[in-house]
A and B are shown apart, each in its own frame.
Chain A
Amino acid sequence: MDVYLPIANLSVNGLVIVALGGLTGILSGLFGVGGGFLTTPLLIFYGIPPTVAAASATTQVTGASVSGMLAHRRRNGVDEKIGLVMVAGGTIGALIGAVLFRFFQSLGQIDVMINVLYVVMLGTIGTLMGREALQTIGAVKAGEKPRAMTRRHHPLVAALPYRWRFYRSGLYISPIAPLLLGVVVGILTMLMGVGGGFILIPAMLYILGMSATVVVGTSLFQILFVTMVTTMTHALTTKAVDIVLAGLLLLGSAAGAQIGSRLALKAKPEILRLVLAAIVLAVALRMAFGLGFQPDEIYTVVSL
């Protein structure tokens, strides 16, 4: 089924795009991540211009996170208060990201920058998550009880002034910490075309020390709003949002997200984390190969 994409200016096989959306949808339902980190590179690999790929993937992530967030909200799995603080940070971050995007574009290094970010972020997160999952699996096999967490949140977070109470997360911390986290994720959303869930979830767990029951829901809440802001920023600045491409991706991912969230109920969480870590690391390695050994293209073209 051939579909012509009016903004990307080319015709694609619609079924491939829907399937791609479905794949990321399943990931998003399973792990509470948007799946943008996989969509964007795969779209580029398929031949979609990079900016259009990043912008349209952001739009898709919005849709994927809506249904997940609503499901979590029904069972009180979203801390709106801390979520809104992070959204505020995310909005600031998206704007900073847009400025950085322009800056690296003018240097002519934006594609290199995006690749470096992918390798560093995905490599770090994938390694940490994989190691943690393996340790848990090892501990379960050895018959030990999972270790109780020795500290609630990072000492730096505890040192920040003006503490607020976030009841659902079970936290009494300064809002500056989630705000800063939001800013960082917002910047990455704008630059990499990802929702940032793969960074948010570990950061909320291990840096902020949020209660595990609200982590996935709140992460989806933040992703939902930040990707909305990012879509708007793209629509106003790069004009690279392809609504047909986003629609096709959404068809797949909306359904995929539901399938994924059902699968998530059946699977063991540490196995899920290990699988996600493996996928994240595979993407990071693929990007690292292009950066360190042989780029896909020696020449790149931008219109003046």
Chain B
Amino acid sequence: MIRFFALFAIALMLTGARDPILVPEVSQHDIKVRQGFTGTELLLFGAILDPEGRAARKYDIVVVLKGPAEAIRVREKQKVAGIWINAESTAFQSAPSFFAVVSSKPISELVDEKTAAIYELGLDFVQFSPTGKIDPEEQARFSAGFNDMRKRAGLYKEDMSGVQISEQVLYQARISLPSNVQTGTYTAETFAITRGIVVASAVSEVEVRKVGFERLVEIFAQNWGLFYGLLAVALSVGMGWLAGRLFAMV
């Protein structure tokens, strides 16, 4: 069975030889979050290879960088009896903790909405996998509100002219990660688009992880709550006492 699929894949590659091949690369595959981390800028670059050897046709490039997904609940405040309280809510099974779309041209000029939705090209097309309420209008309202929040936090972004393509062969895009990114595996998907069709795509991964002291603190707080708490108390009592002694001497 596996062999059959392998043969099938090779056959596809041979017959589809007219499609270009994307060779993506990322400036950093391993982002270390340690003391002094204030965010970082990722350079996503690569080449578009045309198998027929001639100068490549005109391609446009879209890069989508997605952070690890999380299950969340979004609540909406409404004014009830004079005060704003949480009213409606909806759950999203897989909301990416980070989402950035960078393209060489506005997405709407590259593909139609259906294609954009399939490949999640654009903030309007992030797939949150909502559960519970199914009313599409309400769903859209929550998605838009959530999108807007994440945009203001710098975690969701779009840049419609962020990809530079040189000589129809090389492309590069820059995406900055703010300091409040989640740790985990990020996937960067690169799409080559021509005449409204996605003709090639490639994925590369970026690992964001805490190291050193920051990692230690996180593990300590998560697994050794009692000792962590005692340490925090000791620290605060010690510092307060020390300050009292120091100032008493002045």
Identify the A interface with B (CB < 8 A): 2-4, 6-7, 9-11, 47, 59-60, 62-67, 70-71, 108-109, 111-112, 116, 228, 231-232, 234-236, 239, 241, 243-244, 246-247, 250-251, 254-255, 257-258, 290-292, 295, 297-304
Residue B136 lies at the interface, judged by CB distance under 8 Å to chain A: no
| CB pair A301 B74 closer than 8 Å | yes
Q: Is the interface of A mostly helix, strand, loop or mixed?
A: helix
Residue B34 lies at the interface, judged by CB distance under 8 Å to chain A: yes
Residue B70 lies at the interface, judged by CB distance under 8 Å to chain A: yes
| CB pair A232 B233 closer than 8 Å | yes
Question: What are some 30 contacts across the A-B interface (CB < 8 A)?
Answer: A2-B36, A4-B38, A6-B210, A59-B232, A62-B240, A63-B236, A66-B244, A67-B240, A67-B243, A67-B247, A109-B86, A111-B86, A116-B83, A232-B233, A235-B221, A235-B226, A236-B225, A241-B229, A243-B228, A243-B235, A247-B235, A250-B239, A255-B243, A257-B243, A290-B84, A292-B84, A297-B77, A299-B74, A300-B77, A304-B72
Contact with A along B68-94 (1 / 0, CB 8 A): 001111111100001111100101000
B176 CB, min distance to chain A CBs, angstroms: 13
Complex: A232 Cα to B37 Cα, angstroms: 28
Residue B196 lies at the interface, judged by CB distance under 8 Å to chain A: no
Contact with A along B2-34 (1 / 0, CB 8 A): 000000000000000000000000000000011
Complex: A244 Cα to B220 Cα, angstroms: 13
Residues of A contacting B37 with CB < 8 Å? 2, 4, 11
| CB pair A62 B225 closer than 8 Å | no
| CB pair B237 A232 closer than 8 Å | no
Residues of A contacting B70 with CB < 8 Å? 303-304
A121 CB, min distance to chain B CBs, angstroms: 16
Residue B218 lies at the interface, judged by CB distance under 8 Å to chain A: yes
Interchain CB contact (< 8 A) of A251 among B36, B77, B239? B239
> Which of B116-124, B142-150, B163-171, B185-193 forms contacts with chain A?
B142-150
Contact-residue bracket for chain B: 35 or more
| CB pair B38 A67 closer than 8 Å | no
Residue B112 lies at the interface, judged by CB distance under 8 Å to chain A: no
Interchain CB contact (< 8 A) of B145 among A6, A116, A255, A298? A298
Tell which of A63, A116, A292, A303 has the most Cβ of chain B within 10 Å. Answer: A63
| CB pair A62 B86 closer than 8 Å | no
Residue B41 lies at the interface, judged by CB distance under 8 Å to chain A: no
Closest residue of chain B to A229, judged by CB? B233
Complex: A4 Cα to B217 Cα, angstroms: 12
Residues of B contacting A4 with CB < 8 Å? 33-38, 179, 214
A232-B226, A250-B240, A299-B148 known; 7 other A-B pairs, CB under 8 Å?
Answer: A11-B38, A235-B225, A254-B244, A292-B83, A292-B84, A299-B74, A300-B75
Identify the B interface with A (CB < 8 A): 33-39, 70-77, 82-86, 89, 91, 142, 145-146, 148-149, 178-180, 182, 210, 213-215, 217-218, 221-222, 225-226, 228-233, 235-237, 239-244, 247
Q: Which 10 A-B pairs have the closest CB atoms?
A: A235-B229, A66-B240, A254-B243, A67-B244, A11-B179, A63-B236, A63-B240, A10-B180, A258-B247, A62-B236
Residues of B contacting A116 with CB < 8 Å? 83
Q: Quick one: given A108-B89, A109-B85, A241-B221, are A59 and B233 in contact (CB under 8 Å)?
A: yes
| CB pair B240 A254 closer than 8 Å | yes
Closest residue of chain A to B85, judged by CB? A112
B246 CB, min distance to chain A CBs, angstroms: 8
Interchain CB contact (< 8 A) of B75 among A62, A63, A258, A302? A302
Complex: A235 Cα to B234 Cα, angstroms: 13
Complex: A53 Cα to B35 Cα, angstroms: 19
Complex: A10 Cα to B177 Cα, angstroms: 11
Closest residue of chain A to B212, judged by CB? A6
| CB pair A299 B71 closer than 8 Å | no
| CB pair A254 B229 closer than 8 Å | no
| CB pair B243 A112 closer than 8 Å | no
Interchain CB contact (< 8 A) of A246 among B84, B91, B235? B235
Residues of B contacting A247 with CB < 8 Å? 235, 239
Residues of A contacting B232 with CB < 8 Å? 59, 231, 235, 241, 243, 246
Interchain CB contact (< 8 A) of B244 among A11, A258, A297? A258
